[in-house]
Chains A and B, each alone.
Chain A
Amino acid sequence: MTEIIDALVHHTWATQMELMEFMSPGWREFLGKPESLPNAGGAWNTSAFAAAGVMPALPTNPFRDPAGDKRPGTVAASGGPAGSDVELLRVQALHAPGISRAVLGFDVGALAPTHPNPWLALEVVRAANDWSIARWLSGQDNRLYGLVLVPNQLPTEAASEIRRAGAHPRMVGVLMGGNGMARPFGHPIYHPIYEAAHELGLPVVVSAGGDAPADTLSHPTAGGLPATYAEYRILGAGALMSHLVSMVAQGVFERFPGLRVVIAGAGFTWLPSVLFRFDTNFKALRREVPWLRDLPSEYVRRHVRLTAQPLDPAPVERVRRLLATVPWMADILCFASAYPNRDMVNPDAVCRLLPARHRDAVLGANAMALFRWPDRRPAPAPPASDAVGAMPSGQA
């Protein structure tokens, strides 16, 4: 029985004050002192607002679930938002579901790169990585691992941050959260980030919601902005489809042949239709991207993984058959709970969707081969089947 690995858990700080302990004196001075103003109160994003007198340092996500973003019962008695209490997270996200390794990937902190002040955003990200290392990856629990948050609004600094924080042995990947440059993630402006991740053997996790914040020029949906949270939730996978498509088309996997990317929090029942459409269009428009040596779906098979979350209720047998239209679908799915989000999933729910022979792979083996664990480095993705410049051999 293989380990069950949770590829994405959303950890966060109790208050911004906790994060600010890891900022420089200059930035702490800039952000202000708590209790220096009468209590303004009313801020609903408690992880960003510390106390009256301190400037909020995170961008705002305008799309909030009216019923609450988090699963009831995940807030600790000590106060602080869901996902901020190490002990409670250990009990609920590790013990209860029998998780042997969990990858921590921030909560609202992941949106930091979209803050319009690039320097503040950079400091927030550096502090977030240091906070993560100090408060979660320094012996609190051997099952906890981390992702390096990337300040992608400044790609050169982002590469440096990956090389800095990514040196820590319990950092197992890199997180592209907020869309700091308002470009699809395959755009060459982001390539220094992938170069650094590739160099360190770290996979890149792209998590949902990065195009939602109020300040970003990129939209979480096409055709205008949605009027409701529900529409954002339904269509939000679109942004990750765009990032996936652009990473393939813009040659990220040609430039960085060992790199893997994880699309997290977008579900997966859209993947077959996107792959078939992408391959069809590629056959017609290959001249736009002549550096691609294989079909787009082949790059996805070798380089991309998807977390199996959220799971929308649908007839199980039909979902299974839809997944089977992509023969290697089980090779690229990874279990991720997304604890403590309202739509988090447990291993049993994922198992129900898969034939028994795929369960070990999806629940653990695929993630085992993906992240840069301190006790096991992943094999890099296999190369394209044809040499650069050679006629395609047509090997599917």
Chain B
Amino acid sequence: MAYTGPRIDADVHHAWRDDAELLPYIPTRWRQAVADRQFAIGPAMMSYPHTAGVNKRLDTYPPIGGPPGSDVATMQRQLLDPHNVSRVVLGFDVGLNAAVANPYLALALVQALNDWSIDRWLSQADDRLYGALLAPTHVPEEAAAEIRRVGGHPRIAQVLLPWNSLGRPFGHPVYHPIYAAAEELGLPIAIHAGGGEVAMSTGQTAAGGVMPTRLEFHTVLPQTSQHHLLSFITHGVFERFPNLRLMLSEVGVTWVPWLLWSMDASVDELRRESDWVRRLPSEYFFERVCLTTQPLEETPQRSQLIELLEAVGGLEDVLCFASDYPHWDTDEPNYVERRLPEAWLPKVFYENARRFFGWDTELPPAATSAQAPA
């Protein structure tokens, strides 16, 4: 029986049509230099080009021009309307623009991106559009200030950490000012896959060395988020900030049994080395953490996926559907629906995200583009 309820899409990527669209939001001190291309909007990246030429679904280019994800109407037509989406959380094209090495420029860019997102997307009449705010993680105090600056906007849903800038996993105390500010504003934290694919990143994207191809890099990519999650526990982020929640985006789901079993098995060792691990790691996980479903691992038989999902009881309460539109490894909602246990669908498609983002009141019926002029 087809799922007919509403959906929340917890990870969608929006973009600007061209640099000119972003320039007005960049402070004067940097604006001309950016316009003249003396400074780039974004750092040099590690070299994992996609075999398709771009890491996007090829049919998501808007008819009016611009890159995938840059046109509200195209996103409404391809994603929101056909799939009964009540809300999306827009997270930039993962926000690595914040990873510019110069912290002064980075802060200016982050503020510009947040202002652009609020002005061009989150202020739209289409109230399905919610968004993440970017935090420049290499300057944690400034990141906290930015969270306090824009985090109160009614359509801001979470704080996105785009880049592991200081070579430490995100639970390390150096980042804690960010979590203090997020908790103060009642915003959850999102860590998106990788966040290390930039030049000069001392937090490597894979254990064992630099992976030669995108295939290898992408296969072991969950390793970064796994470390971030564990570090939140080791360094007591969930203890110090009792209301803070964490979302791990775009790292798939079937590795969870291995990691939870492994973390709980080493809890005595963790406690020998840190006073912050007061509960079992798996308890923190189920209480504070959600994972997006994408990319949902393919298995030759559906029963194999379900076995991995059910290996540790309770995953049905922590998975949040995400399409990752318009990236190349997007998950079509109907596909996810066919693969998950049917009883899980209302939670995964809607209830878990509603609870996670603190949208406790019932969301209004999904608007369509016909009702919500751009």
Footprint of B on A, CB under 8 Å?
65-67, 179, 182-187, 211, 217-231, 233-243, 245-246, 249-250, 267, 269-270, 272-274, 276-285, 287-289, 312-314, 318-319, 321-322, 324-325, 396
Contacts and interface: CB of A to CB of B under 8 A. Distances in A.
- With a 10 A CB-CB cut-off, give which of B164, B218, B261 has the most chain A CB atoms: B261
Nearest to A283: B298
A285 B207 contact: no
A154 B307 CA distance: 44
Interface string B146-170: 0000000000000000001011111
Contacts of B259: 234
A226 B205 CA distance: 14
A246 to B, nearest CB: 5
B309 to A, nearest CB: 11
Interface string B208-237: 111111111011101111111011001100
Interface in B265-300: 265-266, 269-270, 272-274, 295, 297-300
Contacts of A277: 219, 222, 252, 254, 295, 297
B69 interface: no
Interface residues of B, number: 69
A281 B218 contact: yes
Nearest to A295: B300
Contact of B216 (A182, A230, A249): A249
B168 A312 contact: no
Contact of B308 (A218, A241, A325): A325
Interface in B183-223: 195-196, 202-216, 218-220, 222-223
Contact of B219 (A183, A229, A278): A278
Contacts of A270: 255, 258
A336 B348 CA distance: 40
Contacts of A219: 204, 207-208
B304 A272 contact: yes
Contacts of A276: 254, 297-299, 304-305
Interface of B: 51, 164, 166-170, 172, 195-196, 202-216, 218-220, 222-228, 230-231, 234-235, 252, 254-255, 257-259, 261-266, 269-270, 272-274, 295, 297-300, 304-305, 307-308, 311-312, 328-329
Given A185-B208, A218-B208, A234-B259, 13 more contacts: A211-B207, A219-B208, A223-B225, A233-B266, A235-B207, A238-B226, A239-B207, A242-B206, A246-B216, A272-B254, A279-B298, A280-B295, A312-B264
A213 B210 CA distance: 17
B213 A67 contact: no
Given A221-B207, A224-B164, A276-B254, A238 B220 contact: yes
B168 A224 contact: yes
A319 B308 CA distance: 10
B218 A246 contact: no
Contacts of B252: 273, 277
B interface: dominant SS = loop
A313 B265 contact: yes
A223 B258 contact: no
Contact of A67 (B222, B235, B272, B307): B272
Nearest to A287: B51
A344 to B, nearest CB: 14
B213 A322 contact: no
B298 A184 contact: no
Nearest to A67: B272
A231 to B, nearest CB: 6
A223 B299 contact: no
Nearest to A210: B208
A280 B298 contact: yes
B216 A227 contact: no
Given A224-B227, A241-B223, A284-B328, A269 B204 contact: no
Nearest to B269: A230
5 smallest CB-CB distances across A and B, nearest first, come from: A242-B208, A230-B269, A312-B265, A222-B223, A273-B254
Contact of B257 (A236, A245, A322): A322
Contacts of B205: 222-223
A249 B261 contact: no
Given A67-B272, A185-B208, A269-B261, A285 B223 contact: no
Contacts of B231: 226-227, 231
B209 A281 contact: no
Contacts of A321: 307, 311
Given A218-B207, A223-B169, A249 B274 contact: no
B311 to A, nearest CB: 5
A235 B270 CA distance: 13
Nearest to A310: B265
Contacts of A238: 206-208, 220, 223, 226-227
Given A228-B270, A269-B261, A318-B311, A281 B207 contact: no
Contact of B209 (A179, A229, A279): A179
B224 A222 contact: yes
Given A220-B207, A246-B212, A250-B212, A227 B304 contact: no
Contacts of B298: 276, 279-280, 283
A122 B219 CA distance: 33
Contacts of A278: 219
B173 to A, nearest CB: 9
Contact of A184 (B206, B258, B265, B308): B206
Contacts of B273: 66, 227-230
21 contacts: A67-B269, A184-B209, A211-B208, A221-B207, A222-B205, A223-B223, A224-B203, A228-B270, A234-B266, A238-B227, A239-B207, A240-B208, A246-B208, A269-B262, A276-B304, A277-B295, A281-B215, A284-B328, A285-B51, A312-B265, A321-B307
